[in-house]
Structure 1
Amino acid sequence: MGMKKDLLLVLTIESVVLGVVLGFVIRPFNPSNDTISLIGFPGEIFMQIVEMMILPLIMSSVISALAQVRARDARRIGIVTIIYYMTTTFLSTFTGIILVSSIHPGDPELIHELGEGTLENTALSTLDTFLDQIRNMFPENIIQATFQQVQTEYMPIKPARVRNSTSMNITTEVLHKQTLTYTNEMNVLGLIVFCSGFGIILSILGDQARLMINFFIVLDAIIMRWISALMWCYPIGILSLVCKNIIDIDNLTETAQALAMYVVTVICGLMIHSLLTLPLLYFLVTKKSPFAFMTGMLQALATAFGTASSGATLPVTFRALEENLKIDRRVTRFVLPLGATITMDGTALYEAVAVIFIAQLHNIKLSLMDLVTISITTTVASIGSGSVPAGLDTIVIVLTTVGLPAKDLSLLLTVDWLLDRIRTSVNVLGDSFGAGIIHHLTRSSLLEADTDELIRQIREDIDILNNPHQDTLPISHHSVQSTIQNTQNSMQVGLRSFFKIFKNFQAPHIYSKSARASFAPVPNEEERKALLKESIALNKSETHIV
């Protein structure tokens, strides 16, 4: 199994490198549009397959995770998650503002080299974006949320004629009407809110909902097994995507030279955030090596770079955290889908640098209040940027908020293919560090929940032993959890301490003896049934002798 993991990691990294090399080798031959389409076709199919799996993966993972934790533990995990994500997003924005103000990559002379941009300012504001996210959290139709989400738009209406009373001139003012429309994108945030509530209710119902809980646990195991098989297609899809994107770039050399300092500023900011800020935060909380943590995340980071989508990387991130780093799946299955939707550390930093860079191009001096406004708006706007390859809409909103021209933003598209991939990798790394920190902060409560669950199972078994004429054996869902390696680390600790609790139950002597022998390793379902049958048989014989 270890060799397979290493091979998949090597293939993923090699696919990124090979895609870059092939892209630069093929570019000088000026391939036709049909050839470029064929090169990118495997990557296109790959992305469609991955996006097809996102919906069932999110629903099964979030519901199964929260159904297996107590309501108070779910509340604590949620609060810590939101605090962590808001903190890291603000820190990344602050880092970007400090760097771009210090390096000052924007030179007004670049406007003459690059020409004028073509984008127009939008009528949307940061408030519109924030309210749209609140609306999407509570979709009116959960089925519609699987393929559409709400978005505010300003539609032009019939121009109004305004008469100037002094000069008698008549001017035309273009008016816009605010409307709510639906865009063809999955409302991931709304689905997470719905699934979170669903999972918490299942947890509260407990034994009444045991069948439904087991259903989602098994469904989650099926989806992850399916994705594990699909992971061997990732290198081919990543190679195709990277190669096609490099071939598609226009005027790469000229624009790269003109925007070199801008690219360096963004990359430096992303590196500082990913190699200094996040590791330091992780170390301060957990007192563990952040670089050992990052080593276990290499495949997820390479996949994020290749796909430029934190949503498409989600299955690989799950696997890296749960199998390589032994993070409790109840934490990863809630924290990562939410993080892929609302937290975009790399995107927030990139947006802050891009906005101030454009201000520098036009030699516009930004006040301290402008910088504060930029930091707040980029933090809010990045929350709504979604888990798919990023566009420029959120940056246009920030530019409009501070009164900067948005037309020159199109000049940055030439280098966006590279920066988008790097900032997506930073987004995934930030989510992963968050899962590690939250796992550390909540492990005691999760261990307590595991112990309570083991106590419940033993009580059921004792009831069977005290009623030997009952034919039904207790069927625990513990074996299902073991199959998908749920809470592997905390369960070991719980089993070691469980014997101290077990003596309080005053169990029959024969069962206590059997239980002691079965503490390590945890028996599977068949072994557990055989053990109980033997115990019941012995109990019957002892009763007959008496």
Structure 2
Amino acid sequence: MSTHTPASTAQPRSGFRIPKVPFWAQILAGLVLGVLLGWAARTGDVAWLKDTLEQIGTIFVQLLKLAVAPLVFFAILVSITNLRNVNNAARLATRTLLWFFATSLIAVAIGLTIGLITNPGAGTGLTTKDGTAPESSGSWIDFLTGIVPTDIITPFTELQVLQIVFMAAALGVAALKLGEKAQPVIALSETILELLQKALWWVIRLAPIGTVGLIGFAIADYGWNLISKYATFTADVYIGCALVLFGVYPLLLATVAKVNPLQFFRGAWPAIQLAFVSRSSVGTMPVTKKVTERLGVPQEYTSFAVPFGATTKMDGCAAIYPALAAIFIAEIFDVTLGLQDYILIAFVSVIGSAATAGLTGATIMTTLTLSTLGLPLEGVGLLLAIDPILDMIRTATNVAGQAVVPVLVAARENILDREAYDNATSFDLNDPDPTDPTPPAQSPAVTVPA
């Protein structure tokens, strides 16, 4: 007589299970492997390896950019319509803008101070012949006239993010004015935004592979000899961003919001590390939004502040970097900057930060700064050689600021859930759905005290 063991009581098989590798470890491995492969491609003159690294990095960046236009449009549209759930929304938006300006002004002051102390362009050996003018440049006329699109298709096909923001904001305000009649459009936009965030998450999971290509090609193409010429400038950018990231932001959190700064970094770390690798504020936006909510900022306000910040809040790319870049280029081209020039740099950084639009790189912002100061645009060509390495820390600083400001405003307006902030923990980007929305069934309106 045979016996049968039910499946529910059967003993599990013993076997080897591959341990789950944390996302940060995957990123670190990608950085190390990228450096090694880049070094091998350059020293061994292996053309196919260099081309492969370039293609891997290019495809990763292109996948991120593919989602930028629709993601920005629907994120801004939904963020504005979400303000209908926030009492005194105008005051909340105004406070957010003021903190954007204030922190940008502090960041540009730090960049100018470091540049004046270190003279990053002196002794580099670079000359005017080493740089070429970019094919397109930014100017105040282009900046102002470029806000309003001539049609609704071109901004999406040519990735004119500022124009996309304008159209989304206009439709968002119109939806608020229409009220209940616009509810079907709002619901559809929210669904599309969730679909885009889900698709973008698949791209984010490829970040370790993208890191191998981006870092590897940078090493293979530029080499250590070229990078050494930018040593002071590179150190200045990293030091300036570190001072803002680990000095200014914690100080503001401790004195203005009266919260534990270390807890902020514990909760916001997934977004910061992803920003460092992806070099895209918009690409990181779903994760930034998630960590900001986990830090106790109401979802309705986060849905406005984070997308808005991802396209306009750029302390790394639009404040520290252009200040240092202007000094660097002025020294190479033997141009003396005066007090009025430094004031202009600060003005451009605070007002013109939307020109960066959350994309990788800060070329448009740099050309806008140089053209305002009357510096040769050929200097941009000098900076492009080192840009990928600098853009990592710049974007990490950008994204940290995009999470810090909502915490500051929420704390000052007494709508910050301090218990949630104190209990916020980091999450691994290997989790199945870390960007999935987790709103309560019926989210009450956020009330800002008058």
Q: TM-score, normalised by structure 2?
A: 0.78
Shift of the alpha carbon at 1:329?
A: 3.1
Shift of the alpha carbon at 1:288?
A: 1.0
Deviations 1:455-503 (A, max 9, x none): xxxxxxxxxxxxxxxxxxxxxxxxxxxx932269986999xxxxxxxxx
- Conservation of the 8 A alpha-carbon contact between 1:95 and 1:349: yes
Aligned partners of 1:69 and 1:6: how far apart in 2?
A: 39
For residue 139 of structure 1, the aligned residue among 149, 164, 177 is 149
Deviations 1:375-434 (A, max 9, x none): 223444443123222254443443343343443453333332211221121111111212
436 and 11 in structure 1: CA distance in 2 versus 1, 3 angstrom threshold: farther
State how 1:237-386 maps to structure 2 within 5 Å.
237-249=210-222, 252-322=223-293, 324-347=294-317, 348-386=319-357
Aligned partners of 2:369 and 2:77: how far apart in 1?
A: 35
Aligned partners of 2:380 and 2:171: how far apart in 1?
A: 42
Larger relative contact order, structure 1 or 2 (CA cutoff 8 Å, min sep 6): 2
* Uncovered stretches (5+) of structure 2, i.e. residues with no partner: 1-18, 418-435
Shift of the alpha carbon at 1:276?
A: 1.1
For residue 108 of structure 2, the aligned residue among 83, 90, 93 is 93
Aligned partners of 2:96 and 2:79: how far apart in 1?
A: 15
Aligned partners of 2:249 and 2:416: how far apart in 1?
A: 25
Aligned partners of 1:210 and 1:124: how far apart in 2?
A: 41
Aligned partners of 1:73 and 1:319: how far apart in 2?
A: 23
- Conservation of the 8 A alpha-carbon contact between 2:233 and 2:328: yes
- Conservation of the 8 A alpha-carbon contact between 1:114 and 1:255: no
- Which residue number corresponds to residue 197 of structure 2? 224
Deviations 1:111-144 (A, max 9, x none): 4x66733334999774324423xx41x3342333
Deviations 1:175-218 (A, max 9, x none): xxxxxxxxx2x232333333334334444544444444333333
Q: What's the RMSD between the two structures over aligned residues?
A: 3.5
- For the pair 1:233 / 2:247, whether they are aligned, the reply is no
Greater fraction strand: 1
- Conservation of the 8 A alpha-carbon contact between 1:300 and 1:317: yes
- Conservation of the 8 A alpha-carbon contact between 1:9 and 1:298: no
- Which residue number corresponds to residue 121 of structure 2? 106
What letter matches 2:249 in structure 1? Answer: L
Aligned partners of 2:101 and 2:369: how far apart in 1?
A: 18
Aligned partners of 1:17 and 1:76: how far apart in 2?
A: 47
- Conservation of the 8 A alpha-carbon contact between 2:128 and 2:332: no
For residue 432 of structure 1, the aligned residue among 394, 398, 403 is 403
- For the pair 1:485 / 2:428, whether they are aligned, the reply is no
What letter matches 1:234 in structure 2? Answer: A
- Conservation of the 8 A alpha-carbon contact between 1:117 and 1:409: no
5 and 128 in structure 1: CA distance in 2 versus 1, 3 angstrom threshold: farther
Aligned partners of 2:369 and 2:331: how far apart in 1?
A: 15
Aligned partners of 1:217 and 1:248: how far apart in 2?
A: 42
Shift of the alpha carbon at 1:287?
A: 0.9
Aligned partners of 1:187 and 1:117: how far apart in 2?
A: 29
For residue 190 of structure 1, the aligned residue among 160, 163, 166 is 163
Deviations 1:348-375 (A, max 9, x none): 2111112112333455443222222232
Aligned partners of 1:67 and 1:115: how far apart in 2?
A: 50
Aligned partners of 1:118 and 1:311: how far apart in 2?
A: 29
Deviations 1:18-70 (A, max 9, x none): 333433344322221x4323233333333333322233333333333433332
SS at match of 1:69: helix
Deviations 1:210-259 (A, max 9, x none): 4443333333333333444443223222332222222221xx33333333
- Which residue number corresponds to residue 140 of structure 2? 127
Give the share of equivalent positions with the same residue, in percent: 25
- Which residue number corresponds to residue 398 of structure 1? 369
- Which residue number corresponds to residue 49 of structure 1? 63
Shift of the alpha carbon at 1:337?
A: 2.6
Deviations 1:253-301 (A, max 9, x none): 3333333222222221111111111222233332112222122222322
What letter matches 2:186 in structure 1? Answer: I
Aligned partners of 2:348 and 2:133: how far apart in 1?
A: 19
Larger deviation: 193-202 or 239-248?
Answer: 193-202
- For the pair 1:39 / 2:53, whether they are aligned, the reply is yes
State how 1:420-459 maps to structure 2 within 5 Å.
420-442=391-413, 444=415
